A and B are shown apart, each in its own frame.
Chain A
């Protein structure tokens, strides 16, 4: 199974800051770690830019909406840049929408992985590693 949306398009949109984040998720599951809206947004963009084809997990549809789900172990550099060493595995759910200025990523979910990703993940299973450590 392949992602519904092109990862290249996702990264282009993230690089151009055409990203929208779901608010509940933003407030409850990102701000506790990232502390400010600007930092949370910057982190979200950085995670999107680190996604690779092997991180693709599955796609879901509800109503007219299709979303791709990814499970990613973010780099140590990214963890350190945002002072979240140890918060390694993240769950990402996104879709792309065509807008006047270009395709925009709608990030329905971005939060710490709550369970391991199984063999459906393109790059193989990924175990949860999500506990803050001293750098």
Chain B
């Protein structure tokens, strides 16, 4: 049951409100959109939302669902890009994933972790170079040269000699 007078402004009354466009932080996401159908007790004067136990659980479910959708969408896009540069099976071997895992992610049968989604997205930003880098990680067991400046105008490599072999 919602409070009668808003404790934030002392003027409005608080009633459940369903509306689109509301966003909320969740885990690694700065803002995820909440379903328009989700009722949140809201002040009709100052707009403050009041989160009770039931609303908290509904928010958790809605945000977890939105996060899964966002991670799946990002992964699907990245897998699509990467598949043009590396057979899916080879990519699974490279990332030590079980056979068929990426296919399941692509078809929404597995929920990708934020870690995997981020890795796939980073690889997809520059597939040839980054897939080659991952192969080098496994063969050398080392991170290798690193960028010490990230300015696009003057990127500089920490270890110039090794960097040359990486083709930066």
Chain B associates with chain A: yes
Chain A positions near chain B (C-beta within 8 angstroms): 17-24, 26-27, 31-32, 35-38, 41, 62-65, 67, 95, 97, 99-101, 104, 106, 108
Known contacts: A95-B7, A106-B7. The answer to whether A21 contacts B50 by CB under 8 A is: yes
Interface check B168, CB cutoff 8 A? no
Residue in chain B with minimal CB distance to A66: B10
A65 to chain B, nearest CB (A): 4
Q: List 5 A-B contacts (CB under 8 A).
A: A18-B53, A36-B26, A97-B4, A99-B1, A108-B7
Q: Is the interface of B mostly helix, strand, loop or mixed?
A: mixed
Known contacts: A22-B7, A37-B56, A106-B3. The answer to whether A31 contacts B25 by CB under 8 A is: yes
Binds A, one of B57-65, B117-125, B138-146, B147-155: B57-65
A102 to chain B, nearest CB (A): 11
Residues of A within 8 Å of B8, CB to CB, are 22, 24, 108
Do the beta carbons of A31 and B26 come within 8 Å of each other? yes
Chain B positions near chain A (C-beta within 8 angstroms): 1, 3-11, 24-27, 40-42, 48-53, 56-57, 59-60, 63
Q: Kindly identify which residue among B1, B10, B60 contacts A65, using a CB–CB cutoff of 8 Å.
A: B10
Residue in chain A with minimal CB distance to B46: A24
CA distance A98 to B5 in the complex (A): 12
Residues of A within 8 Å of B51, CB to CB, are 20-23, 26, 37, 41
CA distance A17 to B57 in the complex (A): 12
Task: Determine which residue in A17, A36, A95, A99 has the highest number of CB atoms from chain B within 10 A of its CB, and name it.
Answer: A36
Do the beta carbons of B5 and A22 come within 8 Å of each other? no
CA distance A97 to B6 in the complex (A): 11
CA distance A108 to B9 in the complex (A): 9
CA distance A20 to B54 in the complex (A): 10
Do the beta carbons of B1 and A36 come within 8 Å of each other? no
Q: Kindly identify which residue among B1, B11, B49 contacts A100, using a CB–CB cutoff of 8 Å.
A: B1
Do the beta carbons of A23 and B49 come within 8 Å of each other? yes
Do the beta carbons of B26 and A63 come within 8 Å of each other? no
Residue in chain B with minimal CB distance to A65: B10
Do the beta carbons of B49 and A31 come within 8 Å of each other? no
CA distance A19 to B52 in the complex (A): 6
Residues of A within 8 Å of B5, CB to CB, are 63-65
Do the beta carbons of A38 and B56 come within 8 Å of each other? yes
CA distance A63 to B1 in the complex (A): 22
